[in-house]
Structure 1
Amino acid sequence: MRVAIVHDELMRKGGAEQVVLTMLKAFPNADLFTLAYNPEGTYPEYKNYKINTSKLQFLSRSVKWMQRLYFPLGVWAMKSLKVHGYDVVLISNTHSAKYVDIDNDALVFIYTYTPFRLAWEPTSYSQYVESRGVYRWVFDKVINYLREIDRKEAQKGDFYLGMTKETAQRIRDAYQVEDVTIIAPDVKTVNFKLSDKEKEYYLVVSRLEYYKKTDLAIEAFNELGLPLIVVGSGTKADELKRLAKPNIQFRSGLTSEELADLYANCKALIFPQYEDYGITPLEAIASGRPVIAYERGGVLETMIPYRGDASKATAVFFKEQTIESLKGAIELFQSLNFDPEFIKAHAEKFDEYVFIDKIKQFVTDKYRKSRQKSSPKPKLASEKRINS
């Protein structure tokens, strides 16, 4: 079984890029394709693989330039990237991975973290929210075009996979597909550890972007005066640093070991955003540390909320994305005693070996069944895919 794995882009360190590394462990002989690759921007493990990139690679040396050139050059580049000669194509995707040119007889699995956010949730971007007049008109035209392309290219899939019940429903709604199999992304628990040191600070680990709501955490801690460490980088970094008072520190460019130490020795991870899944809460609980999280999105399916017994919980939720609601959750947290061993044990239910077993079994079973069919009728382009 010849396997290709396709991912949107390998330019940064995020949860999706970790999932792809686990997919490569499930299918170690797979070839890897992507829009663009920056070895210094993403996880160093990718240096162990041969990575096939699109024509945008030559112009896309940073995330900023990749995003600037995405429309229309990135879309065109991915449509031009040929993924031929494979029995199975496993697509790891939010935006452009599914646009690639695939053989009509390949079996296609599309693992979607969430439908293309710019096309389907443009208000997640400050650039859209703040646009006016002719700029908003142009924005809407581009978004409508991207939505049309995105829905069309999603029809390439034979099988659809999602992270949670909520994201599975988004996939059904956006792409008009019926069956979506849920396989939760993994956390590599071996990379995290428990610590007996006294906990002195709270922690945020996030890309510093508009929809991540890091500003909410900073404003709450400005008022509380408690120590907070913010780990990450992004387009809002300078703005957030100006907002923060001296009790808040910023870190970036950390090694895996340095980040693991910060997780292990924090009081709790602050998770203020509405996230489709959320790998960082799982990394925190893999370190035995509880999470203070906004009560929406993926944390509803990965965390055990406090309901009167902190020893059997992994998180305290807050109901509204307001300073007062977050402060109330922090103040409640300070009165509770969590069990680090219980928290870490819960994280192990999401360990990478669980993901590897599930994705490998799902793909190989579907491939085996497809091979057992005698002389299958070829699908019409409208039923399977139109390569353009």
Structure 2
Amino acid sequence: MSAPRIGLVHERFTEYGGSEAVVAEFTRTWPGARVFAPIVDVARSPAPPADNLAMPWGDIEDTWLTRAHAATGRRSHAPLLPFAPRAFRGLPLTGRFDAVVVSHHAFATQAVFATDAPVVAYVHSPARWAWDRAFRAQEGGGRAGQLALTGLGHIARRAELRAAPHLTRVIANSHAVAERVQDWWGLPATVVNPPVRLDRFALDPTVEREDFFLFAGRLVPYKRPDLAIRAARRAGCRLMVVGDGRFRRQLEELAGPETTFLGAAPDEVLVDMYRRCRALLMPGIEDFGIVPVEAMACGTPVLAVSEGGALDTVRPGVTGEYVPPGSDEEVVEHLAQRMTGFDSATFDSSVIRAHAESFGPASFRDRVAAVVADVLEPGRVAPPGTDAMSGGR
């Protein structure tokens, strides 16, 4: 059988993060696949050389929204999002592919209306800000932002529900996301955790642990760096914060002298922090969470709230510990209690590293390829190491 013709559709290329790394692995899974996105801003979304797409960036097929984005000075893509469903539905996909694989955050599944081929949606999450009122309140900022996000949320919910019945298969990036797909879309999903580039993160037995905890990631409200900072203050523990974002000024006002902000940092600095900290703190509810797996690849234990993607990655007593979910005050108190007297020496760094290796890119490519092969030839291939979700664990 000749290699299938695969079309790849991504939400947008306006920054480089975990979902763009997923698309990069898609292009390695299906060499020669065409990539489409409504907004492409290569200058603002450079990939690390090791992660780059297996195709020239200039070959990504965009839409009129890219020109509209440029005309607005590329300050923000957010004002263009209400037009995204129409842009996806207008992609030139019909008659070109045997299957279309969609990388979905909010609107990308609308591409199902632009093709006659089966569509497999890899769902980073249904739009949480559209479905989850508490999440929307946290992300919306002031009243104007809340109103705008509420209106956009209505558009996103309607778009997702319109597309869902037409999807051939749904892949979720974690069990938590699979449960959302079932609850919000009424569809089962196969779980395939996203790829983590473990070659950039490794053990170094010559590096000794030091007396500080680490928060790493974008400084945005949903990642809850504020809870890590409050817990460090309550526990009287040193905290290093690696990352930057719109929440930084408020966090600096909240922090005490025990917290140090390092800003955005290259991989070599982040790896050094992973290797030297007592533990990584994960106080937010992630869809999956690549940062904790990176830390584990360096042999570092993780303290995480027991919800969301952490349930797929953290093994209590082996790769880290959970703190129970609850109100902000309860999470801060539980996290502070865990931090006080936490002993990273009770964890085996080589066992932590071995666990992280199960999330490598090769395993991801095998699993998504098997799902798509099963769509094209039902029953011939069983996706290795995946499991289907139909609502509960």
Aligned equivalents of 1:230 and 1:30: distance in 2? 38
Q: Give the corresponding residue for 1:314.
A: 319
AA matched with 1:246:
P
Does residue 69 in structure 1 map to residue 72 in structure 2?
no
Aligned equivalents of 1:74 and 1:264: distance in 2? 41
AA matched with 1:329:
R
TM-superposed CA distance for 1:262, in Å, is 2.4
After superposition, the Cα gap between the structure-2 partners of 1:370 and 1:328, relative to the gap in structure 1 and judged at 3 Å, is: closer
The answer on whether the counterparts of 2:282 and 2:302 sit within 8 Å (CA) in structure 1 is yes
After superposition, the Cα gap between the structure-2 partners of 1:224 and 1:60, relative to the gap in structure 1 and judged at 3 Å, is: farther
Where do residues 24-173 of structure 1 align in structure 2 (5 Å cutoff)?
A: 24-39=27-42, 40-44=44-48, 45-46=52-53, 48-49=56-57, 50-60=59-69, 65-70=76-81, 72-84=82-94, 85-100=96-111, 103-126=114-137, 140-173=150-183
AA matched with 1:159:
R
Q: Give the corresponding residue for 1:191.
A: 200
- In the superposition, the TM-score normalised over structure 1's length comes to 0.84
Worse-matched range after superposition: 293-302 or 247-256: 247-256
Aligned equivalents of 1:261 and 1:130: distance in 2? 34
- What root-mean-square deviation, in Å, do the aligned CA atoms of Structure 1 and Structure 2 show? 2.6
After superposition, the Cα gap between the structure-2 partners of 1:6 and 1:247, relative to the gap in structure 1 and judged at 3 Å, is: same
The C-alpha deviation readout for 1:81-136, integer Å capped at 9, x for no partner, is 3333111110111112112365543121011121112221242134676666x986
AA matched with 2:252:
K
Does residue 290 in structure 1 map to residue 293 in structure 2?
no
The answer on whether the counterparts of 2:278 and 2:343 sit within 8 Å (CA) in structure 1 is no
Correspondent of 2:357 among 348, 355, 365: 348
* SS of residue paired to 1:249: strand
TM-superposed CA distance for 1:69, in Å, is 2.7
AA matched with 2:14:
M
After superposition, the Cα gap between the structure-2 partners of 1:138 and 1:285, relative to the gap in structure 1 and judged at 3 Å, is: closer
Aligned equivalents of 1:170 and 1:88: distance in 2? 25
TM-superposed CA distance for 1:186, in Å, is 2.1
* SS of residue paired to 2:101: strand
Does residue 250 in structure 1 map to residue 261 in structure 2?
yes
Does residue 5 in structure 1 map to residue 8 in structure 2?
yes
The C-alpha deviation readout for 1:173-229, integer Å capped at 9, x for no partner, is 22222x321112122211111122222232111221111111011112233343322
After superposition, the Cα gap between the structure-2 partners of 1:25 and 1:126, relative to the gap in structure 1 and judged at 3 Å, is: same
TM-superposed CA distance for 1:63, in Å, is 8.2
Correspondent of 1:260 among 255, 262, 271: 271
TM-superposed CA distance for 1:366, in Å, is 2.1
Does residue 18 in structure 1 map to residue 21 in structure 2?
yes
The answer on whether the counterparts of 1:264 and 1:288 sit within 8 Å (CA) in structure 2 is yes
* SS of residue paired to 2:156: helix
Aligned equivalents of 2:269 and 2:145: distance in 1? 42
Aligned equivalents of 1:135 and 1:280: distance in 2? 28
* SS of residue paired to 1:125: helix
The answer on whether the counterparts of 2:126 and 2:181 sit within 8 Å (CA) in structure 1 is yes
Aligned equivalents of 2:75 and 2:180: distance in 1? 27
The answer on whether the counterparts of 1:126 and 1:210 sit within 8 Å (CA) in structure 2 is no
Aligned equivalents of 1:101 and 1:175: distance in 2? 15
Aligned equivalents of 2:305 and 2:75: distance in 1? 29
The answer on whether the counterparts of 2:106 and 2:156 sit within 8 Å (CA) in structure 1 is no
- In the superposition, the TM-score normalised over structure 2's length comes to 0.83
After superposition, the Cα gap between the structure-2 partners of 1:193 and 1:357, relative to the gap in structure 1 and judged at 3 Å, is: same
The answer on whether the counterparts of 1:83 and 1:101 sit within 8 Å (CA) in structure 2 is no
Q: Give the corresponding residue for 1:376.
A: none
Unaligned stretches of 5+ residues in structure 1: 307-312, 372-388
Unaligned stretches of 5+ residues in structure 2: 381-393
TM-superposed CA distance for 1:161, in Å, is 0.9
AA matched with 1:173:
D
Where do residues 315-330 of structure 1 align in structure 2 (5 Å cutoff)?
A: 315-320=320-325, 321=328, 322-330=331-339
AA matched with 2:245:
G
Q: Give the corresponding residue for 1:175.
A: 185
* SS of residue paired to 1:181: strand
* SS of residue paired to 2:295: helix
Aligned equivalents of 2:312 and 2:13: distance in 1? 27
The answer on whether the counterparts of 1:192 and 1:264 sit within 8 Å (CA) in structure 2 is no
The answer on whether the counterparts of 2:112 and 2:166 sit within 8 Å (CA) in structure 1 is no
